[in-house]
Structure 1
Amino acid sequence: MKANPTVTEDAASMAPKEQLMEDLRAVVTDAEELLRATANQTGEGIASARERIRESLHSARLRLASAEAALVERTRQAARATDEYVHEHPWQAVGIGAGVGVLIGMLIARR
């Protein structure tokens, strides 16, 4: 019984990407808070720095939106591949599901 490598690779590569997007969201939020906190500050250097931060935030938001769209598409592809595999190999899918259920049951019974 050979697992579908595409599905396995997709699932393994999504978790780090989701964490990266979550980290990027946090950075964007922190930068926005910094901009609000320095709104009362004046001076040419601060104004220049605030403008650069504003441009960087805009760019980061665009990249984040693009990364989220790519992640959603990869998730859909993985779901389609899984659906196709289950339809092509129903008994193997039932066996895998039963095996996972037994393992989870054993882990729960240990506690």
Structure 2
Amino acid sequence: MLESNIKAVNKDIKVLLKDAQALFSAAATLSGEKAEEARARGMKLLDTAMVAAQDAQASALATGKEMANSTDAYVKENPWSSIGVAATAGLLVGLLCCRKS
């Protein structure tokens, strides 16, 4: 779920940034009131992109905290199995690192 949300937000941000670039390019050739209107629309698009990025960051942070809390609860409920898993993982990493090529 989180991965699909991040992909959707990234896609939306890319589209918004391309639109903003196009508006700013058009505003460079315009003058007066039309240029100001194009700049305002571009700034609105950039603000929308920033809000989407902040929402994605907040979602990722909340999910990370939730995962950390559930892991902490599991380790407190099952300390010996957690120690066994950690020791096994350490042993495997040690064997892979010390293996002769």
Q: 1:70 aligns with which of 44, 59, 69?
A: 59
- Deviation track 1:31-89 (CA, whole Å, cap 9, x = no partner) reads 7xx59x95x92316x83554433222110100111111111111111000000000000
Q: Which has the higher contact order (CA 8 A, sep 6+)?
A: 1
Structure 2 unaligned blocks of 5 or more: none
Measure the CA separation in 2 of the matches of 1:109 and 1:20.
42
Greater Cα radius of gyration, structure 1 or 2: 2
- Normalised by the size of structure 2, how large is the TM-score? 0.65
* Superposed structure 1 runs of 4+ greater than 6 Å apart: none
The aligned counterpart of 2:80 is 91
1:43 counterpart letter in structure 2 = L
Q: Percent identity?
A: 27
**How many residue pairs were aligned?**
91
Measure the CA separation in 1 of the matches of 2:89 and 2:38.
54
When the two chains are superposed, the root-mean-square deviation of aligned CA atoms in Å is: 3.5
